[in-house]
A and B are shown apart, each in its own frame.
Chain A
Amino acid sequence: MADGEPNLRSGRPLSDRLDLRLIAEMVEPRSRVLDIGCGDGALLDILVHERGVDGRGIEIDMREVAAAVAQGLAVIHADADTDLAFYPDAAFDYVILSRTLQATERPREVLAQMLRIGRRAIVSFPNFGHWRVRLALVTTGRMPRTPALDRPWYDTPNIHLCTISDFFDLCAMDGYVVERWLGVDDQGKRTPWRRNRRLANLFAEQGLFLLRRR
């Protein structure tokens, strides 16, 4: 993708994706990683070139796939909702889903597949519990628009939005261990409320989770 061109999923320039750094820090060097919804491969590029990772990607947008492969990254055109089933168990050390969970048809199944084919899963998503989202809905009575959720309701790929608290509940329900988690602001920086779930749910614009099976 050319500089300054918007990222198709978030609508913001790639250079703002500081959260990718936080994700990369969670990944052991030289491990096997699958990045689902990898876009043009910005995270894979960091993982492959800075952490010596054997990295693969899945992306549904063909233009982004072509851009990633043209950079020499191993990316396939595929749909996370249907194509994860073809990977064998525990094929990867980490399966990453960054800012894509909310855009999948069946987020719960996608998460289950991630923890089947990977020993660990790293998931980040926009937090629908953020105070600005809550306030916008209460005061305007309209679907909230925030920097992390900046598309109008009729033109958003996000169909399964959740809050950080909701995500904790899902992990508990489906038996995933939350090894680490972070509240992240829209710049992808750690927020100071990361130790407290309730405060993170109110103040973090994104949640970032490292999970494993129980």
Chain B
Amino acid sequence: MQRAAPAPALGDAVAHQTETFAEGLRLDCGTLLRPLKVAYRTYGRLNESRSNAILICHALTGDQYVAERHPVTGKPGWWEIMVGPGRPIDTNRFFVICANVLGGCMGSSGPPSEMTDAEGRPQGRPWGTAFPPVTIRDMVRAQAMLIERLGIPKLFSVIGGSMGGMQVLEWAALFPGRVFSAIPIATAAWHSAQNIAFHEIGRQAIHADPNFHGGEYWRHGTIPARGLAVARMTAHITYLSEQALARKFGRRLRTGPMLTFDNDLFEVESYLQHQGSTFVQRFDANSYLTITRAMDFFDLAAEHGGSLGEAFRATPVRFCVISFSSDWLFPTAMSREIVRALNAAAANVSFVEITSDKGHDAFLLDEPDLFRTVSGFLKGAAERWSRG
């Protein structure tokens, strides 16, 4: 595993497509973040009635490069299998928008972006750990400003998995009049204690890295690569299922069956190490800390007096909730809680638990039932939307 990679240059190594909001955004923590920058990508064309826009919300370590080659890694977009011409989210029909989340590291305001003072004046250094804590709701507010800037009065749909699903729920709760339909996938209305615990392991690994320097690694020209890689490795296990790991690697050894303490004895070890080391090339440690915290804070029921049903009271939004049978990070029971709350609110809701042995990651993989569900739901919603 690599020890210390060169520090990324304020996250500006790639020229991202960005909108800047000089007025800034008042965060849930009270801080006015000024200016606010939101980096994003769009696919397809906005129709004349501005009624075919779909916002895609990415997961913890995703970004706006949903359906095109990633500018840093050169790999295909993270949801190319779902988004594109003729795909379930068909860019021949829909205008697809994906924004880098607030607190991220791919061009939106976040720890690696340049720090500003209360008047919005640049400070010539990255925010780093001084970046204010953000919430899922803050992320959604930032996206809403982008959507307004793009001249879209109402989104046809908001779609996302995992943390993206949290944003989808928050969109529906916060802006019910600006969303026609919502597809929260493999997600929950609050982050469970178990999930917070896993995040804490990742954060501790980052903090323990000698290259972390209390979050001021940018001053030292280092990055806490080992800590960030360990965080990613731990998280990655939670994204998979026992069956998926067993099928992929079993107990296969890389070398002969020798009892040693060498690295990479089992294939699964080297796989995880590869996952960790490629991750540090494209992700910022302070962003990881900021965003995992935002997920941990998330509790939509608490935002509405402890009642999830209250969050969706009299909602006009059409929902399609999707879970996966082998997802133990965001298990079906969590989706069922959302569905029950939506039923209590007499909302229009579809709910499918897709049978898959691929764990939480199933939402990113080739799952024909997922594609059928998403495209079928969008088709039904489009029929309804056109009837007015």
Question: A: which residues have CB within 8 A of B?
Answer: 54, 56, 62, 65-66, 69-78, 83, 86-88, 91
CB of B130 closer than 8 Å to a CB of A? no
Please tell me if the beta carbons of B369 and A54 are within 8 angstroms of each other in the complex.
Answer: no
Chain B nearest CB, measured from A129 CB (Å): 35
Interface string of B374-388 (1 = CB under 8 A from A): 011101110100000
Please tell me if the beta carbons of B372 and A70 are within 8 angstroms of each other in the complex.
Answer: yes
Please tell me if the beta carbons of B344 and A86 are within 8 angstroms of each other in the complex.
Answer: yes
Instruction: Count residues of B near A (Cβ-Cβ below 8 Å).
Output: 27
Asked whether A83 and B343 contact (CB < 8 A) given A66-B372, A72-B376, the answer is: yes
Please tell me if the beta carbons of B352 and A69 are within 8 angstroms of each other in the complex.
Answer: yes
Please tell me if the beta carbons of B348 and A54 are within 8 angstroms of each other in the complex.
Answer: yes
Question: B: which residues have CB within 8 A of A?
Answer: 318, 320-321, 339-340, 343-346, 348-355, 369, 372-373, 375-377, 379-381, 383
- B343, B352, B375, B379: the one contacting A77 at CB < 8 Å is B352
CA–CA, A86 and B309, complex, Å: 10
Asked whether A65 and B352 contact (CB < 8 A) given A70-B373, A76-B339, A86-B343, the answer is: yes
Q: Which residue of B lies closest to A87 (CB)?
A: B343
Q: How many A-B pairs with Cβ below 8 Å?
A: 64
**A–B complex contacts, Cβ < 8 Å, 21 sampled:** A54-B348, A62-B352, A62-B353, A65-B351, A65-B352, A66-B369, A66-B372, A69-B352, A69-B373, A69-B376, A70-B373, A70-B375, A71-B376, A72-B380, A76-B351, A78-B339, A78-B351, A86-B340, A86-B344, A88-B346, A91-B346
Please tell me if the beta carbons of B350 and A69 are within 8 angstroms of each other in the complex.
Answer: yes
Please tell me if the beta carbons of A66 and B377 are within 8 angstroms of each other in the complex.
Answer: no
Q: Which residues of B contact A72 (CB under 8 A)?
A: 376-377, 379-381, 383
CA–CA, A75 and B352, complex, Å: 8
- B348, B355, B369, B375: the one contacting A74 at CB < 8 Å is B348
Chain B nearest CB, measured from A119 CB (Å): 13
Max count, chain A CB within 10 A of own CB: residue among B318, B373, B375: B373
- Across the A-B interface, the 6 shortest Cβ-Cβ residue pairs: A72-B380, A70-B376, A76-B351, A70-B372, A86-B340, A91-B346
Q: Which residues of A contact B369 (CB under 8 A)?
A: 66
- B320, B340, B355, B383: the one contacting A69 at CB < 8 Å is B320
Q: Which residues of A contact B381 (CB under 8 A)?
A: 72
Q: Which residues of B contact A65 (CB under 8 A)?
A: 351-352
Please tell me if the beta carbons of B352 and A87 are within 8 angstroms of each other in the complex.
Answer: no
Please tell me if the beta carbons of B340 and A83 are within 8 angstroms of each other in the complex.
Answer: yes
Chain B nearest CB, measured from A45 CB (Å): 10
Chain B nearest CB, measured from A1 CB (Å): 13
Chain B nearest CB, measured from A194 CB (Å): 34
Please tell me if the beta carbons of A73 and B380 are within 8 angstroms of each other in the complex.
Answer: yes
Q: Which residues of B contact A70 (CB under 8 A)?
A: 372-373, 375-377
CA–CA, A77 and B378, complex, Å: 18
